Structure 1
Amino acid sequence: MSDSRVFSIDHFTSTLHTQPCSQLLPTNNRLPSPFAVVVIGASRGVGAGIAAAYAKAGASLLILAARNTDELASVARSLVADSTTASPKVLTHYCDVASPTSVKSFAAYVNARLANHDLPKLDACIFNSGYSGQVHLRLTDGDPEDGQWGTAFGVNALGTYHAAHYFVPLLRAELMQSTPELRNPGSFVAVGSIASCITTGIIANSKYCISKMAQARIVEHLAEQFGSGQDLEQGNQGPPGMLAVAVHPGAVDTQMARDSCPEDFYKYLTDSPDLCGAFCVWLTRDPERVMWLNGRLLSATWDPDELLAKRDDVIKGDLLKFVAVTSKQ
């Protein structure tokens, strides 16, 4: 896409935020009770911020996963010790999203913990794991044998698929059995990137941009398959639709960002690591009210009120999705 199109999605609302505004503060978006959420990739940075947001919003059960279990345990301790929370139940577990066996094992652990806490289903799964690798601006740069392309797709794309494959059934478990008035849709949120829209510039790292575009497309497929409430196999009206979206966290000064972008870009890393978590809570506390955003690439920096005001435009134009342009406007 051209730079003008990247600017267009980056500035989809005229007001942008670097910190959670009052409408997004987790304390102003209390979650229903009970509410169980999984955050995959929660050991630091944006993922730790997402975990904190759900704790502050009153999640009943918060299950965190990552490869670095020591850092994960530190995050869990900080959530329990935070005086602004109501001592949420926080559990941690190892998970390597690139390994289907590891994700399957983690999903089984979550399913067992839900049963132990008498919770009928998972309410939200937030997939935050990501990998960028060294910035290579040309496909001829780098060395294909270094494995970075494989890791980028293994984490960003396949990891999202693995999480969706094993956790969507947990998000929909209650829906398949309960009466219509008790059915509450679950939410699958992939922390994506507006980098999925770019092909040029100093941060147009091909392996990252392309694998993140694939991730966004997986989210679109989830929305089509599980977001309409239609039973694809039977052709009948099924359980209420699940919310599936990709959320750009903003330009956050994380270790991954510093490890993978040029120093000239550091000055743009000004968004809070708490912003994405607040936006995710705002989306998932009542998914039915934002179901019209299903399958779309969103940004946590957007103003929530302005986004809601664009509802008719988004629906009419089927905006915020990847398409092949076949004619000029």
Structure 2
Amino acid sequence: MDPAGPFGFPPATGANFTQTIHQKVPPALKPSVQPLPTPFVVAITGASGGPGRAAAEVFAQAGATGLVLTARSIAGLEETKRICERASSSTKTKNQNPLKATLVVGSVGNEADAQKLATAVRDEHDGRLNMLINNAGVVSTDESAWGPFDKIRPDQFEVPMQTNYVGRFLTMQALLPALMASPGKGTVVNVTSICSHLTSPGHGAPGYNISALASNRLTEMAAEVYAVDGGTGPVFYSVHPGAVATHMPVGASKELFEAMCTDEADLCGAVCLWLGRNRPGWLNGRYISATWDMAELQARKDEIVGAIS
């Protein structure tokens, strides 16, 4: 395989950090072999489609008893709920708790909407929350987002930063009390992008890339802040979902988008499920790609931990 990784990504991006690169869920990460403890409640932002919807279905298949799903589209959320209820009913036995899915319409970049999630957890799920997947994000809303700095509209920095960075902070701030009050103290995944490591022209929209990098650092800082609990507090991970064909960003190259986006939407959800079940402390605060092979990643634990110790 090209040592520069797909599409010329340099090694520092981690594009090929493991020898095995996955584009779909490998057998070891299938929901059927990753059953969740009961009860288990997970909140997912951006759940009206794409990786967010796919993650919700993965957790339903794995036996989650509660889903708190948020997005700006009620129609999309209702479809996600139907998909998850079907997935749950097909995998649960008569003695298992039925799935309860709560829908919250709102924007993650809005403080009041973030608080709606906390209210839903408190009122609909008895205050229990085991995991938060901060998936909602935006790349661009104008073609200028992909241009040189002197051509980019200022809002093409402001909009992605508000959603992809400030929005993740607001959601974490609203839900951390419930996470820390629940058994296991909770797991947070901030869905990021390989673009957070890219600076070359043609490799992403600058405003988006920088917002993803800010999200990574938010994850790192949260891990440091809550590490004072001696490893008994919540854990935090940044996860690149792979290149998934969802809505093509405004101004992006259609040809490049279609050529690159070949990873399946549920791959990220399966890796999030693995993180939520195992909560590996040595990965706390770190960037992970859903395309990596998790067994190979674990085999490199000593190398990874030792590199910065």
Are the aligned partners of 1:203 and 1:261 in contact in 2 as well (CA < 8 Å)?
no
Aligned residue for 1:126? 133
State the distance in 2 between where 1:260 and 1:226 align.
Answer: 39
Query: Structure 1 residue runs of 4+, over 4 Å off?
Result: none
Aligned residue for 1:284? 276
3-state SS of the aligned residue for 1:64?
Answer: strand
- Which one of 18, 26, 35 corresponds to residue 30 of structure 1? 35
Are the aligned partners of 1:64 and 1:93 in contact in 2 as well (CA < 8 Å)?
yes
- Please identify, of 133-142 and 273-282, the stretch whose mean Cα deviation from structure 2 is larger: 133-142
Letter matched to residue 110 of structure 2: S
Whether 1:262 and 2:253 are equivalent positions in the alignment is yes
Letter matched to residue 120 of structure 2: Y
Aligned residue for 1:304? 294
State the distance in 2 between where 1:67 and 1:258 align.
Answer: 17
State the distance in 2 between where 1:32 and 1:273 align.
Answer: 24
After TM superposition, give the deviation of residue 27 of structure 1 in Å.
Answer: 1.1
Calculate the aligned-residue CA RMSD, in Å: 1.8
State the distance in 2 between where 1:193 and 1:51 align.
Answer: 19
What's the CA shift string for 1:180-231, capped at 9, x where partnerless? xxx523100011111000001423310000011001110001100113524x
Aligned residue for 1:212? 212
Letter matched to residue 316 of structure 1: G
- Which one of 260, 272, 275 corresponds to residue 264 of structure 2? 272
Cα separation, partners in 2 of 1:17 and 1:260, compared to 1, 3 Å = farther
State the distance in 1 between where 2:34 and 2:105 align.
Answer: 29
Which one has a larger percent helix, Structure 1 or Structure 2?
Answer: 2
3-state SS of the aligned residue for 2:146?
Answer: coil
3-state SS of the aligned residue for 2:124?
Answer: helix
What's the CA shift string for 1:88-146, capped at 9, x where partnerless? 2212111211111111122122122222xxxx6310000101010044242112322xx
Aligned length: 292
State the distance in 1 between where 2:128 and 2:77 align.
Answer: 23
Aligned residue for 1:76? 81
Aligned residue for 1:243? 235
Letter matched to residue 114 of structure 1: H
Aligned residue for 1:326? none
Are the aligned partners of 2:44 and 2:52 in contact in 1 as well (CA < 8 Å)?
yes
Cα separation, partners in 2 of 1:194 and 1:53, compared to 1, 3 Å = same
- Which one of 143, 155, 166 corresponds to residue 153 of structure 2? 143
State the distance in 2 between where 1:55 and 1:201 align.
Answer: 40
Are the aligned partners of 1:15 and 1:302 in contact in 2 as well (CA < 8 Å)?
yes
**Unmatched segments (≥5 aa) in structure 2:** 1-7, 93-97
- Which one of 175, 181, 188 corresponds to residue 173 of structure 1? 181
Are the aligned partners of 2:51 and 2:266 in contact in 1 as well (CA < 8 Å)?
yes
Of all paired residues, the percent bearing the same amino acid is 32
Aligned residue for 2:110? 99
